[in-house]
């Protein structure tokens, strides 16, 4: 199985190499801003020409795609950036490629061809706020035989802070090929990510016929239908005291904002505190990412079928009372990791419909409660008398959902969702299953306000 996989390593550059890395990232930002200024100037020129009645065929062309932007940059780089030869051409191409992607996303969002929130028109990148990042797609890109150095175009050989043996083994066996490399400064460290095409061996889960339901939550990270409870480590909550201290310290420093609202050069200690704060946030993110990868890898390697819910994470983040706790869990990451890890491991992922009442349904007899308060942590069925932890009950309902799904793999095995519980077409999700027959779903999608003849239903 050929897959596209990324390998990320922390770099240990010399002071001179760190300056060169920052210079390449600055070159990418400069090319992005130059290209955006050229696009805006061309758009303004077209509007002016239209006001004079010039035909559409004679209007000024706008460099909209990467090819046009590269051609315009090569024609003007001698005047606008006489120092362009100090960096690799890939740095400028990286910035122009980012601009072309942003313009394409804005155009698709405006035409309704892109799902999700509306995408705004690209804005200029600030030297002080934009992330330092640069992408290399051609040239000398590789991993050295010593497995502690990487080679990047124009930058040469840079030492890594960790071993690159996993990627090096694929390259030595011929089962891997590097497609691109991206360097990024994050959390006080320089990182390099190799985008590779890997030929992975076909694998089978340890229990290919086993089905497990996974109920994600805030109190507990996950509760499995087998009864196993994975506790929530709450990495952000544990580091909150340190983060607050650093934020207060940063506010007391001589920052870039003056008392009169203007700008001023920040002090050296302000930069030190800001770097320490970024480091603390990066540590929390790394701890969370490590725990979620270990959990999803274990699930994908053990069970043949995994059932999760299609959660409205963005809606939960809109609740200011629980947004911090929800963000600390990383529910979206769990589903995203399970989607590709089950495919790589030979299993399948079934995503229950968002309106499937997993918590309100009795896992013993199938009766559905009309209401179930969030404070009720034990599910007690009034029909059969079952008393069970509500999260364990929901996980068992998710596992039982597989028996009601069509046996065709196209409906369950990492396939796009086609219909919801009511038969209407829905987008997104992998293998989303409708509400099982014989059980009435009590959850309904909240209707929009102001719609004549409709009213919202509390869920």
Question: Any idea which residues carry the catalytic annotation?
Answer: 215, 309, 391
Q: What angle do CA 390, 396, 401 make, to 5 degrees?
A: 125
- Tell me the C-alpha distance between 34 and 39, whole Å: 9
Burial classification of residue 217, based on how many CB atoms lie within 10 Å of its CB (0-12 exposed, 13-18 middle, 19 or more buried) = buried
**Is 94:134 a contact under the CB 8 Å cutoff?**
yes
Length of the chain in terms of residues written: 459
- Tell me the C-alpha distance between 7 and 132, whole Å: 19
Nearest to 69 by CA among 37, 110, 47: 37
Beta strand spans in 139-219 (E): 142-143, 149-152, 156-159, 176-186, 189-199, 207-216
Six token digits for residue 276 = 């320490």
Place of tokens 């155009």: 107
The helix/strand/coil state of 320 is coil
Element (H, E) at 119: none
The helix/strand/coil state of 242 is helix
Six token digits for residue 336 = 């995203």
**Is 52:59 a contact under the CB 8 Å cutoff?**
no
Place of tokens 């400064």: 185
Phi, psi of 334 (to 5 degrees): -60, -45
């Amino acid at each position: 199985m050929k897959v596209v996989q990324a390998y990320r390593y922390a770099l240990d550059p010399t002071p001179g190499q760190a300056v060169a890395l920052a210079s390449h990232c600055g070159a990418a930002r400069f090319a992005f801003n130059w290209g955006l200024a050229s696009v805006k100037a061309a758009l303004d020129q077209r509007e002016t020409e239209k006001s004079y009645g010039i035909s559409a065929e004679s209007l000024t062309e706008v460099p909209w795609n990467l090819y046009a932007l590269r051609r315009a940059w090569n024609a003007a780089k001698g005047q606008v950036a006489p120092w362009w030869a100090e960096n690799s051409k890939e740095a400028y191409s990286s910035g122009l490629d980012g601009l072309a992607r942003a313009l394409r996303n804005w155009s698709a969002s405006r035409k309704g061809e892109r799902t999700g929130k509306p995408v705004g028109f690209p804005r200029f990148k600030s030297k002080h706020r934009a992330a330092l990042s640069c992408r290399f797609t051609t040239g000398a890109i590789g991993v050295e035989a010593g497995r502690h150095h990487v080679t990047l175009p124009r930058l040469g050989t840079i030492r890594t802070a960790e071993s690159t043996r996993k990627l090096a083994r694929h390259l030595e066996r011929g089962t891997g090929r590097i497609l691109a490399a991206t360097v990024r400064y994050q959390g006080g460290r320089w990182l390099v990510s190799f985008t590779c095409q890997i030929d992975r061996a076909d694998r089978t889960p340890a229990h290919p016929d086993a089905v497990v339901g996974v109920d994600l939550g805030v109190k507990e990270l996950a509760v499995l239908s087998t009864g196993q409870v994975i506790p929530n480590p709450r990495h952000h909550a544990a580091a909150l005291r340190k983060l607050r201290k650093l934020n207060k310290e940063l506010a007391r420093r001589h920052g870039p904002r003056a008392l009169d609202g203007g700008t001023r050069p920040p002090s050296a200690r302000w930069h030190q505190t800001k770097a320490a704060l970024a480091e603390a946030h990066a540590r929390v993110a790394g701890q969370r990412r490590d725990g979620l990868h270990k959990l999803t890898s274990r699930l994908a390697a053990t069970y043949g079928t995994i059932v999760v819910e299609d959660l409205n994470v963005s809606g939960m983040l809109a609740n200011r009372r629980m947004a911090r706790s929800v963000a600390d869990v990383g529910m979206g990451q769990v589903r995203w990791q399970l989607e590709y890890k089950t495919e790589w491991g030979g299993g399948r992922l079934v995503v229950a419909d968002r309106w499937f009442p997993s918590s309100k349904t009795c896992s013993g007899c199938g009766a559905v409660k009309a209401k179930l308060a969030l404070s009720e942590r034990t599910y007690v069925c009034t029909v059969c008398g079952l008393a069970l932890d509500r999260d364990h009950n929901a996980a068992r309902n998710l596992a039982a959902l597989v028996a009601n799904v069509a046996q065709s793999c196209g409906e369950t095995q990492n396939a796009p969702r086609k219909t919801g519980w009511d038969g209407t077409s829905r987008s997104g999700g992998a293998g989303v299953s409708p509400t099982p027959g014989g059980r009435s779903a009590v959850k309904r999608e909240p209707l929009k306000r102001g719609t004549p003849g409709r009213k919202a239903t509390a869920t």
